[in-house]
Amino acid sequence: MIAATAKIHPLSVVEEGAVIGENVVIGPFCHIGPKVNLADDVVLISHVAVLGRTTVGKGTKIFPSAVIGGDSQSVHHSAVDTVLTIGENCTIREGVTMNTGTVEHGGATVVGNNNLFLAYAHVAHDCRLGNNIILSNNVMLAGHVTVEDRAILGGGSAVHQFARIGRQAFIGGLSAVAYDVIPYGMLNGNPGVLSGLNVVGMARAGIEKPVIHEVRRAYKQIFEGTGSVRVNAAAIRGDYLGCAPALEIIDFIAAESDRALSSPSRGKKG
């Protein structure tokens, strides 16, 4: 079904079965598969392939040479339909690739709203991305990665499969993310080392200075205490019931995960 207000260039292919919403603009040399759903006000500039069982949310804009909804690159990929869901008002720049999920892990790759994907970023199968995230140029997410709201990943960084990146974390350019990164954490290097808190990002998000100081105190108790990181975090939880960001870090550490936690020491050479 193609809405009457959609504008489709005659040099593009929209296969029968695709759903094209109101005021969608599809520029030249695009290919839209038969199971694709483009919501209202989506813009494909040119040379964009949207494939598979893919839904693109309202107002999202996709630039040339992006391939969205391609099959999973997992060796376990089967011919069974899996999905990619992209939220509203995302910007997907040149050469970005996003894959559908795998049957073995729920069959869905999910991308939230208001995200910015710079040129040649890659989102692999079964990833889960929140809202207001920035993936800079050439960022690579392996399969099953979780990225929470407002995280920023610097250019050329790579994230190991099943890793979690917490809310408003900052990953430095060219960093190798082998382990989970706490909310508000900063990670740099290859191998990646936790280098403190994203204090600038916290301030820009409107978190007040006294709260930031509380979070920094909790960070030191967790990572510089005498026990393990998980033991230290659990021990101080009761002291931070009135500090939501600190509790967020503590709960992130306590959650089950397939990966260990990044720390100021894990990954440090020599």
Residues carrying an active site annotation: 125-126, 143
Q: Which long-range contacts (CB under 8 A, 24 or more apart) does 108-111 make?
A: 108/82, 108/83, 108/84, 109/82, 109/83, 109/84, 109/85, 110/84, 110/85, 111/84, 111/85, 111/86, 111/87
Could you give the CA distance from residue 164 to residue 86 in angstroms, rounded to a whole number?
A: 19
* Pair of tokens at residue 41: 């006000």
Contact yes or no for 91/121 (Cβ under 8 A): no
DSSP H/E element including 233: helix 229-236
- List, as one string, the DSSP characters of 95-127: T-EEE---GGGTSEEEE-SS-EE-TT-EE-TT-
Alpha helices, DSSP H, located in 174-224: 199-204, 209-224
Cis? peptide before 34, omega within 30° of 0:
no
DSSP H/E element including 230: helix 229-236
Could you give the CA distance from residue 60 to residue 130 in angstroms, rounded to a whole number?
A: 15
